[in-house]
Structure formats: structure tokens, C-alpha cells
């Protein structure tokens, strides 16, 4: 018996979104494919055969998504969001780097564009769907007591993407389906091969933000304003080529080889247009502030110290910590049990209670 409702599925042309759509069909849902179009040709990014969220290879991904829809026998729509993506993601990315911070464009895109503007624009175009789904590896559960939607880690911890979804609001989680959350990547690929989709199962994965190995292509010459690189004693040891080319924790590309000891970027001062460097030991922090918070598993910000695990970047091993009210409204102070490496201003910090995302926010400058 078919399940009630129509599900819009974000189709990228890859195996994960294709199998998400297939699983929903198998469950009896009516499925419609939606592909977000972001490339506007405004930047000099050459087509090198790469795949990413933004770049000239978008046409290949669109054709791949259309082929998936054809195999599934579902309608498919490309949704032009180039202007919206530029304003919400690219401009945000540039401004954060200009201010000496290192943003996470994927978290921003999910929050504002992929799980927001994409759905709004599709519905304005008359495309009808009740629920939305993607091929992300995470799970959404509704708590019995208060009906709150919980975002939890995927069964496959190696592929878990709850970090990237941790800024979604309750209104976005309420109508979200994540069919792959209980599966492993190996199971997804095996299922694709059983369907005769070995081309998708063997297709290289792409998690690139843009189709370029260098984010510098996003910036103008005016953003590359040279300034001093100072060591931990305040001595000028070199000149940088513009703060937008640096991030906390960086060693390669800083231009300090042969200085006698490994030096890492420890701080970026946008007001002074300076980059500070020091030994790796200077990168460890046990206490930091997180602001611009989104509470997912909690109904409100904790008023008393709360034990959590904090993840300060996607590939960071979650660290035991305690969060408590911060120095300004809408912020928390994070006290880690042990100092953590390269806690980077602008990056997303996600707080977990077991498998559940308690909340997330942006790491503030120290």
C-alpha cells in the first residue's frame, strides 16, 4: 500500500541520493527529483573534469541526476539558485575570510539554501511535495515526550554527516527524511550494484565546495593585501600575501620553511592585517566561546553547566567538554577536559549528547 505524501528528493547524480530516492519508492512514497543549480559562470574556474557544489562541471552532474530520475521513472526538476547561492554562501564565505575567520560553507549551504531556499523556490514553481529527503548519512527521530525532532548520528560512523546538518531548524527537520541513516556506505553500494547501477556504485565521490583545489579563485586582487607575519614573540618574520589565504592550524603554504622550527598559523588579526605564527603547542585550546547557536536536541540554551562531547570540525574526534552560559547573550563557554588542536574561529562547533545533536554554533575569535 503506497504511503501517503509526495517526497522531493535532492538528486546530485551520485549513488547516495539515487539510493535514497529508490528506498523511498520501495517504501511506497511518490518521489520527485530536485537538483539545485548554482553555477553562474562568474568566476574563472576552468573545467578540469572535477565535481563540486559550484563550478563549470554542473552540467555533467545535472545530466547524471536526470539519468537517475529516468531509471527511477520519476519527474525531475533543475532549480536555478545561482543568485541565492552566491549571496548566501559565496559572499558569506568571502566576508568571513576577510575578517580572519574560517567558515564552513557546507553547513551554511545546508542551513540556508539546500534545506531552505531550494524547497521554497521549487514550490513557487508549482512543484508539489510534502516531505523532503536527501542522501545524507544521519537520522531524524521524533521524541515521544514533546514531539521535538532529534538529529542523531548515522549508523555508519565513518560516513556520519550530522555535523553538516546541525544548524537545521525544527521546521526543517520536521519534514525531513534521511533514508540512508541506518545503512552503511558498503550496503548502499551493494544495493546499487544489485539494481544494475554499478556505474553509480563505482563513481568517485565528490565533497568539494568548489571545482578548484584553491579557494583563492573566489577572491579579488584587492583581497590579497600583503601584511606582516609575526612570531609568538611579536617579531616580524615574513610578509603574508593576504589574510584570505590563511587559516588557523595551517603550516604548508605559509612561506616559513627554513626558519629552524615548524611554525603554524595561530591567529589572524583582520584589523591589523597580520598573521601570527607559533609552534604546534600554541594551537591547543581547552576553553573557547561559541555563539550564534542553534539548539536541536534541547528546547533552550542550558542555564547550568552541561556535559557534552564537542566536535570542532568534521574530521575531529569528539571531545568530552562542559558547556555553560557564555559572556554574551546567545553564547556558551566550552571547557574541554583536554586541550584540543586548532580550534578555529568561524568554524562550526557541534555538541553531542551520546548520538544526539544537542546543538551547534560558530566558534568565536579568542
Q: Tell me which residue has cell 528528493.
A: 9
Of the candidates 20, 115, 36, which has an alpha carbon nearest to the alpha carbon of residue 68? 20
E strand spans, the chain = 6-10, 30-37, 52-54, 76-80, 131-133, 138-142, 149-153, 176-177, 208-210, 227-230, 236-240, 264-269, 274-278, 284-295, 306-311, 319-325, 331-341, 348-353, 356-363
Please write the tens of the pLDDT for every residue from 301-327: 999 999 999 999 998 999 999 999 999
Mean pLDDT computed over 54-79: 97
Q: How open is the CA angle 137-32-111, to the nearest 5 degrees?
A: 45
Burial class (CB in 10 A: 0-12, 13-18, 19+), 103: buried
Mean pLDDT computed over 62-81: 98
Look at the domain 6-210 and name its fold: Rossmann fold (3.40.50)
SS percent in the chain: helix, strand, coil, step 5? 25, 30, 45
Cα-Cα-Cα-Cα dihedral of 65, 19, 157, 134, to 10°?
50
pLDDT at 8: 98
Q: Greatest CA span in the chain, whole angstroms?
A: 73
Mean pLDDT computed over 172-176: 97
Please write the tens of the pLDDT for every residue from 322-342: 999 999 999 999 999 999 999
Domain 6-210 and domain 284-363, same fold? Reply is: no
pTM of the model: 0.94
pLDDT at 208: 81
Alpha helices in 195-283 (DSSP H): 198-201
Q: Where along the chain do its domains lie?
A: 6-210, 222-278, 284-363
Higher pLDDT, 49 or 225: 225
Please write the tens of the pLDDT for every residue from 122-165: 999 999 999 999 999 999 999 888 889 999 999 999 999 999 99
Does residue 257 carry a pLDDT above 80? Answer: no
At the second CATH level, the architecture of 284-363 is Beta Barrel (2.40)
Look at the domain 222-278 and name its fold: SH3 type barrels. (2.30.30)
Amino acid at each position: 500500500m503506497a504511503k501517503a505524501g509526495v517526497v522531493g528528493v535532492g538528486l546530485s547524480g551520485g549513488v547516495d541520493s539515487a539510493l535514497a530516492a529508490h528506498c523511498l519508492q520501495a517504501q511506497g512514497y511518490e518521489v520527485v527529483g530536485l537538483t539545485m543549480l548554482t553555477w553562474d559562470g562568474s568566476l574563472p574556474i576552468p573545467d578540469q573534469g572535477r565535481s563540486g557544489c559550484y563550478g563549470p562541471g554542473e552540467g555533467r552532474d545535472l545530466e547524471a541526476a536526470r539519468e537517475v530520475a529516468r531509471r527511477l521513472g520519476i519527474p525531475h526538476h533543475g532549480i536555478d539558485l545561482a543568485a541565492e547561492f552566491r549571496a548566501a554562501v559565496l559572499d558569506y564565505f568571502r566576508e568571513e575570510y576577510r575578517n580572519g575567520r574560517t567558515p564552513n560553507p557546507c553547513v551554511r549551504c545546508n542551513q540556508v539554501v539546500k534545506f531552505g531556499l531550494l524547497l521554497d523556490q521549487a514550490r513557487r514553481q508549482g512543484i508539489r511535495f510534502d516531505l523532503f529527503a536527501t542522501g545524507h548519512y544521519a537520522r531524524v527521530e521524533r521524541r515521544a515526550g514533546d514531539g521535538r525532532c532529534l538529529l542523531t548520528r548515522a549508523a555508519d560512523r565513518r560516513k556520519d554527516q550530522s555535523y553538516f546538518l546541525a544548524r537545521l531548524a525544527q521546521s526543517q527537520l520536521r519534514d525531513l527524511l534521511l533514508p540512508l541513516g541506518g545503512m552503511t556506505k558498503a550496503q548502499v553500494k551493494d544495493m546499487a550494484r544489485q539494481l544494475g547501477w554499478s556505474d553509480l556504485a563505482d563513481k568517485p565521490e565528490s565533497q568539494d565546495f568548489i571545482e578548484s583545489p584553491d579557494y583563492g579563485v573566489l577572491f579579488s586582487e584587492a583581497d590579497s593585501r600583503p601584511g606582516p607575519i609575526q612570531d609568538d614573540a611579536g617579531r616580524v618574520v615574513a610578509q603574508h600575501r593576504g589574510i584570505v589565504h590563511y587559516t588557523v592550524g595551517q603550516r604548508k603554504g605559509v612561506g616559513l620553511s627554513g626558519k629552524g622550527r615548524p611554525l603554524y598559523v595561530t591567529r589572524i588579526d583582520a584589523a591589523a592585517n597580520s598573521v601570527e605564527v607559533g609552534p604546534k603547542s600554541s594551537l591547543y585550546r581547552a576553553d573557547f566561546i561559541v555563539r550564534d547557536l542553534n539548539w536541536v536536541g534541547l528546547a533552550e540554551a542550558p542555564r547550568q553547566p552541561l556535559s557534552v562531547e564537542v566536535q570542532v570540525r568534521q574530521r575531529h574526534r569528539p571531545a568530552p567538554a562542559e558547556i555553560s552560559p557564555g559572556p554574551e547573550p546567545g553564547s556558551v563557554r566550552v571547557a574541554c577536559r583536554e586541550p584540543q588542536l586548532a580550534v578555529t574561529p568561524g568554524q562550526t562547533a557541534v555538541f553531542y549528547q551520546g548520538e544526539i545533536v544537542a546543538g551547534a554554533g560558530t566558534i568565536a575569535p579568542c
